[in-house]
Structure 1
Amino acid sequence: MSIAKNYIYNVIYQIVTLIIPLITVPYISRVLGSNGVGVNAYTNSIIQYFILFGTIGISLYGNRAIAYVRDDKDELSRTFWGIFILKMITSIVAYSIFSLFLQATNTYQFIFLVQSILILAAAIDISWLYMGLEDFKKTVIRNLIVRILGVVCIFIFVHSASDLWKYVLILALSQFLGQLTLFVYLPKTVKKVKIKWSDIKKHFMPSIYLFIPQIAIQIYVVLNKTMLGYFSNTNEVGFFDSSEKIIKMVLAVVTAMGIVMLPRISNTFARGDMDKVKDYLYRSFDFASYLSIAMMFGMAGIASELTPWFFGPGFDRTGVVMTVISPIIVFIAWSNVLGQQYLMPVGKVKGYTVSVCIGAIINFIFNLALIKYYQSVGTAIATVVAELAVTAVQLYWVRKDIEIKKLITSLWKYFICGFAMYGIIRVIGQFMEVSYKTTIVQVIIGASTYFILLFIFKSELNKQLFNSVWKNFKKVILR
């Protein structure tokens, strides 16, 4: 399947996993309030630690491992079952530790128990198999159906603040059932093979090597909310979580390319074609910059007018947090290309690990220093600084392998056009009242400004993308 089609499928997959709760946010934020949203975010952040230790980097490793052997059905099957059994063993250990934690804690005990379904969902997740095979269509269709049913259930069963546990249960079961449906395709994908203990344990250490950066990533992704909840309050967690949900939905469009390119680059590297690997890297970085810079300025521009009508009363602070945190769209897009699309596929995991560990340390220090004074805004600042550090370290790590100048050659065009777009969006916001109509106008005029200005600046990528869209559009019309 082509990279373009896989990218589209994976964009859909990533957006589905994030947009479903986002669709319900205006309703849930009003029904549960910032405290209820904060309790869900806080307890979920704790559960993510058990998921992390249960999967120990296996899913990320599995994606790459499958890509290496996908042309050999016997080796593919042996690799899959070895990794899957290892993941089940580590997940059982993680859930056992969670059971001890549940007995020791006195707060939100029932909510924690419901959230623990997510640990089981992570245990049976085999999406890494299909991603390694570059077959994203299956994961998209099955998850889409299950998650739409989940949205319907939320509107049917969640009506008051006391229904928080129902909301958490619906989200967790949607995740679990979505993963379970992927097993329908398994018999046609892999064969039953006799597995020895050596086939299982050989995957343990390579997974551990990827587990270390996963821990670091989790520190500045999940620990944000844990520290915010501990040093501040659940309302502030709700503000940060709500803004992060929107930012992550936007990010999904960009980072989807990373998941698509990881197996492709891994397979290309296994064949020894380094020139092609670098060509993929340059093109992917340019595309990521093209999208992410526009999205950063766009989200910062619409935040003030979006949050009041979208989240409802009591969420005004979310707009400020969203504006402050918006630069991570660019930094994560860049580190996704450098880390997941280059360092990991070519086996330079050490560089990736060092970068995210430095990011985690910086995030922890800045959170410790800023939360007390700035609360959710402080956490947003800490997140931005951490992501900037990760990107900077990765750029330093790849400086001898690739031409940095070739990576950044078009950035000035994207930043100038993005800043101009931001200015126009803010002018619209000053003259129009807060409503969904204003947001729609801002998005349409802002996006049009960005693309038109890039035509004026003669952006080659902008021209190629629009020619491709126009060509496909004409094909549909002629049919």
Structure 2
Amino acid sequence: MKKDKSLGLNALLNSLQSLLNLIFPLITFPYVSRTLSVGGVGKYNFANSIVSYFILLAGLGISNYAVREGARLRNDRKAISKFASRVFTINMASTVLSYLCLFLVIFLIPNLHDDIVAILIFSVQIFFTTLGTDWVYTIFEEYGYITIRNLVFKIISVILLFIFVRHPNDYLNYVVITVIASTGSYVLNFLHARKYCDIRLDFHFRWNDYLIPILVIFGSRVAIQIYLSSDVTMLGFLQNEYIVGIYSTATKIYGIVGTLLTALTAVTIPRLAMLMGQGRIDEYNQLLKQVINTILFVVLPGIIGLFMVSQDVILILAGEKYVRATYALKITCFAMLGSAMSTIFDQCALIPAKREKKTLISSTTSALLNIGLNFILIPIIAERGAALTTVLAEFTMMFMNFYFSRDITGFVFKDKETWKNIITVLLGCGGIVVVCALSYSIFQQMFVRLVVSVICSVIVYGLILLVTKNQVALIFLSKLKQK
């Protein structure tokens, strides 16, 4: 039996990966946004949003299902190999279906013909995402391998970017580089997966035993992807490529910060699934409470901080021509709380408890709300309308997922210690507002103002939480002293 990997080490490695996901866009995003035209950025993101639906179709709900079921089998190579081969076979079948649907959609919708080259290049990712079997590495909590792999291919993509993307009309080169970076890592994934299990095509099994739970999870993933991608897609149809470029800039920054802030969630999902699957409920409850309190400790100040410095962040990363994205970013940043908490209730409670049908209800409701409001608000207030609908959809899903998981997660919010932690975090957020406001009134140079705001906000926030005896802050300080 393989020894459980350190959750702290996994969190550190995943945080490092998230840091890489932050650093590299800080290098590439300003370069791309300044080199390509706003329309070029819009074309890139529009084509990417179209293909994302078909990557989702190819993936079904397989990744979530595989992590939940595979976490219980990972110490038995024969059992996990049998399971992985069957899941991989289903995934390949859905990939073929996805390509057929993509070609049909391109043929039937004339509006897509102008972007057909970018769409077809992006579509290469459909096959290689399936081949990549990322879920194997999540099951085995191999965050060290994932981090090293990502670092190597990010460096390669940055080098290619600076060589081949040098003019406003080079957006297709950018598409190709994006695809090369992802497909390379997926090929390496497939070859390296032999270390953990033997994956082959296997058509001789009862497909219904796998397809029914997979398709229920898939319904939820479809709904989530709809409200994640429909904003860009609908802006492309209802507005224009310039507005898509503006909105994509705001959501890109939101995504970078959100990924960094919620790094802990990703590493706890397989561990929580394993604990629940093995009936270790006391350990599960202890870890779940720790995760929820830590997420609130990190995400709430992240939201307030990003809101306060959003204009400077836009100007530094994207430039003056994207300043209009400031309002969309200010609105969208609040979606981080809904997204983070919804993910916990869904991935850490409902999915491990095999309540896929509940997540389907919440995600479908949120998607329908998002699409309906997009039709109303995008024609009126463009990218700000899309940002607002995203926030409303995320919070709708959060509240519904909590309601459906309240018997599992509710104890955390009945704990006085949790509410004490929340109150101290809110006091710390007040300190961030004061620091950023003072920084804006004192410093005129934009970069200096941003750096001072961030550093001083972290210091003031930490001091307030230590003075008010926030449990997460005290535990963090204790671990630092031990090192």
1:446 aligns with 2:457: yes
> In structure 2, what is the equivalent of residue 414 of structure 1?
425
Q: Aligned partners of 2:419 and 2:243: how far apart in 1?
A: 37
- In the TM superposition, 1:157-196 aligns within 5 A as 157-191=164-198, 195-196=202-203
- Deviation of 1:201 after TM superposition, in Å, equals 5.3
Could you report, residue by residue, the CA deviation over 1:203-245 in whole angstroms, capped at 9, with x for unpaired residues?
Answer: 2222111101101101110001111111111111112211111
> In structure 2, what is the equivalent of residue 62 of structure 1?
66
- In the TM superposition, 1:97-108 aligns within 5 A as 97-104=101-108, 105-108=112-115
- Deviation of 1:350 after TM superposition, in Å, equals 2.5
- Deviation of 1:445 after TM superposition, in Å, equals 0.7
> In structure 1, what is the equivalent of residue 440 of structure 2?
429
Relative to structure 1, is the Cα distance of residues 423 and 374 closer, same or farther in structure 2, using a 3 angstrom cutoff? farther
Could you report, residue by residue, the CA deviation over 1:25-55 in whole angstroms, capped at 9, with x for unpaired residues?
Answer: 1111111121111111111111011111111
Contact 1:360/1:386 (8 A) holds in 2:
yes
Contact 1:11/1:252 (8 A) holds in 2:
no
Contact 1:10/1:256 (8 A) holds in 2:
yes
Give the match's secondary structure for 2:368: helix
Bigger shift: residues 290-299 or 250-259 = 250-259
> In structure 1, what is the equivalent of residue 235 of structure 2?
228
> In structure 1, what is the equivalent of residue 205 of structure 2?
198
1:260 aligns with 2:267: yes
Q: Aligned partners of 1:197 and 1:409: how far apart in 2?
A: 55
State TM-score, norm by structure 2. 0.93
1:139 aligns with 2:146: yes
Contact 1:31/1:161 (8 A) holds in 2:
yes
Give me the identity figure in percent: 24
- Deviation of 1:193 after TM superposition, in Å, equals 7.3
State TM-score, norm by structure 1. 0.94
Give the match's secondary structure for 2:72: helix
- Deviation of 1:23 after TM superposition, in Å, equals 2.4
- Deviation of 1:74 after TM superposition, in Å, equals 0.7
Q: Aligned partners of 2:23 and 2:94: how far apart in 1?
A: 30
> In structure 1, what is the equivalent of residue 17 of structure 2?
13
Could you report, residue by residue, the CA deviation over 1:126-145 in whole angstroms, capped at 9, with x for unpaired residues?
Answer: 11111111221112211210
> In structure 1, what is the equivalent of residue 76 of structure 2?
72
1:350 aligns with 2:362: no
Relative to structure 1, is the Cα distance of residues 16 and 210 closer, same or farther in structure 2, using a 3 angstrom cutoff? farther
- Deviation of 1:73 after TM superposition, in Å, equals 1.2
Write the letter of the residue equivalent to 1:8: L
1:4 aligns with 2:11: no
- Deviation of 1:19 after TM superposition, in Å, equals 4.9
Contact 1:138/1:182 (8 A) holds in 2:
no
CA RMSD in angstroms, aligned pairs only: 1.8
Unmatched 5+ stretches in structure 1: 473-479
> In structure 1, what is the equivalent of residue 91 of structure 2?
87
Q: Aligned partners of 1:194 and 1:116: how far apart in 2?
A: 22
Give the match's secondary structure for 1:422: helix
One of 113, 117, 128 as aligned partner of 1:110: 117
Unmatched 5+ stretches in structure 2: none
> In structure 1, what is the equivalent of residue 131 of structure 2?
124
Contact 1:38/1:237 (8 A) holds in 2:
yes
Give the match's secondary structure for 1:80: helix
Bigger shift: residues 272-281 or 18-27 = 18-27
One of 344, 358, 374 as aligned partner of 2:381: 374
Q: Aligned partners of 1:62 and 1:275: how far apart in 2?
A: 24
Q: Aligned partners of 2:30 and 2:182: how far apart in 1?
A: 21
Relative to structure 1, is the Cα distance of residues 426 and 172 closer, same or farther in structure 2, using a 3 angstrom cutoff? farther
Contact 1:9/1:136 (8 A) holds in 2:
yes
Q: Aligned partners of 1:398 and 1:54: how far apart in 2?
A: 28
Could you report, residue by residue, the CA deviation over 1:336-366 in whole angstroms, capped at 9, with x for unpaired residues?
Answer: 2111111111222223222222211221122
- Deviation of 1:4 after TM superposition, in Å, equals 1.2
1:217 aligns with 2:203: no
